[in-house]
């Protein structure tokens, strides 16, 4: 099917052409991609048929066994899409599938050369449809200001205790720093325990003792007073 053009030319203008249209007539042919279609209750489902016919066929849907033509309504929606000059797509959409909608549906095509029909079986798939329910006052969690405040206070106390524990552990980890007087006394005792190896060492030791004498006097005077008592 289509248009053809024949052209005649002998080198002397003008050339001559002729367009010819060929139409092939044939009875309808229906192709069904899915003869068995299932869907859960409450959902929308589509049934499809592809029809080829020339001349153009009259196409419609019927419900078996009632043999009543299905037209567009709140329950059903029919749609026809032309794919080419001889091919048409039929679609039947069933809204909100119910048990009463389960059964056999037929797509039918007729033209001057013949009539044909194909069946599609629609069945229910077990399952439930999840619907969103708006929250109610009873389903909302109760808000207890005092309870939340107590929980916050308890958590704050725990944080304070943890911080105090960390400070204590940090203090335990630090080396103990002796008072200034004891530090110098310890340093003096360490210097006194050193045995001089030569006259030069003795002189250096004497000079160190003289330098430390002002610092040792505040420590030695209380000891002398206590000794007299």
Q: What are the angstrom distances between the C-alpha of 173 and each of 123, 169, 170?
A: 77, 6, 5
pLDDT bracket for residue 201 (50, 70, 90): confident
71-92 pLDDT, tens digit each: 999 999 999 999 988 999 999 9
Say whether pLDDT at 64 is over 80: yes
Q: How many helices (H) and strands (E) does the chain have?
A: 3, 11
Region 191-210: mean pLDDT is 65
Indicate the domain borders of the chain. Answer: 26-124, 181-220
User: d(Cα 90, Cα 218) in Å, to the nearest integer?
Assistant: 114
Range in 5-14, 51-60, 107-116, 135-144 the model is least confident about: 135-144
Q: What is the mean pLDDT of residues 58-73?
A: 89
**Does the global pTM surpass 0.85?**
no
Domain 26-124: top CATH class: mainly beta
pLDDT in the model for residue 174? 43
Asked whether 93 and 77 are in contact (CB, 8 A), the reply is yes
Residue bearing the bigger pLDDT, 135 or 217: 217
């Amino acid at each position: 099917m289509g248009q053809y053009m024949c052209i005649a030319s002998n080198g002397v203008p003008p050339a001559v052409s002729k367009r010819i249209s060929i139409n092939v007539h044939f009875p309808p042919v229906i192709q069904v991609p899915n003869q068995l279609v299932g869907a859960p209750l409450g959902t929308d489902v589509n049934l499809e048929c592809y029809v080829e016919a020339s001349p153009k066929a009259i196409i419609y849907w019927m419900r078996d066994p009632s043999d009543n033509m299905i037209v567009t309504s709140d329950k059903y929606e029919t749609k026809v899409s032309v794919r080419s000059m001889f091919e048409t797509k039929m679609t039947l959409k069933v809204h909100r599938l119910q048990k009463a909608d389960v059964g056999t549906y037929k797509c039918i095509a007729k033209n001057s050369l013949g009539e044909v029909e194909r069946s599609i079986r629609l069945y229910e798939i077990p399952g439930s449809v999840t619907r969103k329910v708006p929250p109610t006052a009873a389903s909302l969690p109760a808000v207890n200001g005092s309870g939340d405040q107590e929980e916050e206070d308890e958590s704050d106390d725990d944080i304070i205790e943890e911080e105090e524990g960390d400070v204590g552990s940090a203090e335990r980890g630090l080396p103990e720093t002796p008072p200034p007087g004891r530090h110098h006394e310890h340093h003096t005792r360490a210097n006194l325990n050193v045995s001089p190896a030569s006259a030069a060492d003795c002189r250096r030791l004497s000079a160190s003792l003289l330098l430390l004498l002002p610092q040792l006097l505040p420590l030695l005077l209380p000891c002398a007073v206590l000794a007299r008592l």
